[in-house]
Amino acid sequence: MDPSSFELSRQEFGHFARLITERLGIRMPDIKLTMLQGRLTRRIRELRLSSFQEYLEYLLRSPNSEQEYVNFVDVVTTNKTDFFREPEHFEYLVGRALPALDPDPSFRRPWRAKVWCAGCSSGEEAWTLAMVLGEYAGARPGFDFAMLATDISTRVLARAREAIYPRALIEPVPPALRKNYLLSSRDRSCNLVRIVPRLRGRVAFRRLNFMDRTYGIEESYAVIFFRNVMIYFDKPTQEAVLRKLCQHLQPGGYLFVSHSESLVGLDVPLRQQATSIFRKAAQSK
């Protein structure tokens, strides 16, 4: 039978919703049923299975379950990002956060900042950060940076690493930064651009699940961008994930969340500096 003729039952939705919440931390209220049905139907069709129940069994118990879980994550996660989304954050980063973090205000000593783009999706935010940091390096002698960009979806990570985007998506990028950091194809009919190699060498992409007990990260970061991720978590999950992120944020480091997210009521070692911008206490551990 054509899987498009099946409807995801409330009971089946409940099984998938619990799995998604347990493994990914993402809330799946009942209003998401139609969305999940559409996304899973495409995957069922690709596997030539005959029902949602059969797919659930395949996902949990087949010899291919580990690999299928990766595909399942790619199917059910939502990935939305843009270049220079919420631009006030990037202005604050270079105008206030980085100068406040700089160990030598006289600019005489070299300084290397580590930045983590947590939940990078298809890379637009990570490459925006890289451009902004590249410009800051041009104004601050001796400044260097390295960036980690993580996401749970292997599909979007592949796009982010490739660093190729339709020209229409780069409209928010200021002309001067386009000139410095984007390459156009020699074929004028090709409406694609690519991030320049000198930036691509500064960003390491890696798969990471915020629900993991530990993240396997040794470094401490001066800045963490964690935007438009918490909206998918309930309050206890938000607090637990933020506490783990703070373990990798250096004392005095900055955490940026989106304008639609709040830390109100969460017990985390952060103090608000501006709208959706927080700083870890200098002596916090």
User: 121-149 pLDDT, tens per residue?
Assistant: 999 999 999 999 999 999 999 999 999 99
Instruction: Tell me which of 77-86, 184-193, 257-266 is least confident.
Output: 184-193
Q: Check whether 118 has a pLDDT greater than 80.
A: yes
Full DSSP string of 163-231: TEEEGGGGTTS-HHHHHHHEEE-SSTT--EEEE-HHHHTTEEEEE--TTSS-------EEEEE--SSGG
3-state secondary structure of 126: helix
The pLDDT confidence band at residue 2, using thresholds 50, 70 and 90, is low
Residue 149 β-bridge partners: 117, 205
Q: Check whether 4 has a pLDDT greater than 70.
A: no
Note the pLDDT of residue 81.
87
- How confident is the prediction for the chain on average, in pLDDT? 92
Q: Check whether 88 has a pLDDT greater than 50.
A: yes
Q: Count of CB atoms within 10 A of residue 227's CB?
A: 25
Known catalytic residue at 48:
no
Q: Check whether 285 has a pLDDT greater than 50.
A: no
User: 195-240 pLDDT, tens per residue?
Assistant: 999 999 999 999 999 999 999 999 999 999 999 999 999 999 999 9
Burial of residue 141 (number of CB atoms within 10 Å: 0-12, 13-18, 19+): exposed
User: 142-176 pLDDT, tens per residue?
Assistant: 999 999 999 999 999 999 999 999 999 999 999 99
**Active-site residue, from 23, 27, 39, 96:** 39
CATH annotation of 3-76: 1.10.155.10
- Contacts with 122 (C-beta within 8 Å, 6 or more apart), sequence order: 79, 81, 156, 159, 160
Q: Check whether 63 has a pLDDT greater than 90.
A: no
Domain ranges for the chain, please list them. Answer: 3-76, 88-280
Known catalytic residue at 104:
no
> Percent of the chain at pLDDT above 70?
97
**Active-site residue, from 151, 202, 227, 279:** 151
User: 96-114 pLDDT, tens per residue?
Assistant: 999 999 988 787 899 999 9
CATH architecture group of domain 88-280: 3-Layer(aba) Sandwich (3.40)
Q: For residues 30 and 128, what is the distance between their CA atoms, to the nearest angstrom?
A: 35
Residue 277 β-bridge partners: 256, 274
